[in-house]
Amino acid sequence: MSENLRSENDLSKMRIAGRLAAEVLEMIEEHVVPGVSTAQLDRLCHEHIVDVQQAIPACLGYRGFPNSVCTSINQVICHGIPSPAKILKSGDIINIDVTVIKDGWHGDTSRMFLVGKVSNHAKRLVAVSQECLYLSIDRVKPGVRLGDLGHHIQAHAEANHYSVVREYCGHGIGRDFHEEPQVLHYGKLNSGIELVKGMTFTIEPMLNAGRAATKLKRDGWTVETSDGRLSSQWEHTIAVTAAGCEVLTARADERF
């Protein structure tokens, strides 16, 4: 891991990339309404990243992914592909996942949006999944082990009768989109590698209303719950500091 520890100069560049990624989610919020297609949302995000931010949408073309953001609706856990045929309707929940490259550095973040009038059980899933992210962020500091983060996510999710997706996880990030370490969202206390100052990684818990099992659709990207029940995910890019952590993708409405 020593080769992936960030200098203060590195972090200054990652702060910029992280802030741009957060800005995309802030920009798109007013457009996430009934009647809009996920292709329209993708186009707006793409134009903002390329034309306004003068940056690069990391997802576009990554391992063949066809769009600039991922749009995952209802039972879709992650990696949903935007499409003109996917029209949002009142009651939907959607995750929009954005990764921006600026000056060679990545900022990766996602959040849930409620579309129109959403059921209470869907709102609760979205809220608890966000709580899981925040609980884990609160524990990030040197000396803590990665398994501790996963343990607290899992404990809070299961205490609220939700399951945690096992097959997909957070990851190291910097000049490369995906680096070591893998950041699992379940686990045992005092397990996994020890966090040290300069590490940068994502935490992105995926909670299902039903079983944790997943299925991959024929497009090779879209991951859904195997039982068709709702899923919710939130994500931030984190830097470990001397005394705790810095959330590089924090939005204006968040306080850490």
Report pLDDT digits (tens) over 197-211: 999 999 999 999 999
pLDDT of residue 174: 98
- How deeply is 64 buried, as exposed, middle or buried, from its count of CB atoms within 10 A (0-12, 13-18, 19+)? exposed
The answer to whether the CB of 142 falls within 8 A of the CB of 208 is no
Helix (H) or strand (E) holding 138: helix 120-138
Q: For residue 170, give the 3-state DSSP assignment.
A: strand
Report pLDDT digits (tens) over 31-43: 999 999 999 999 9
pLDDT of residue 112: 98
Dist. CA 36–CA 38, nearest whole Å: 7
Quote the pTM value.
0.97
User: Is the predicted pLDDT of residue 2 greater than 60, yes or no?
Assistant: no
- How deeply is 208 buried, as exposed, middle or buried, from its count of CB atoms within 10 A (0-12, 13-18, 19+)? buried
**Confidence band of 29 (pLDDT split at 50, 70, 90):** very high
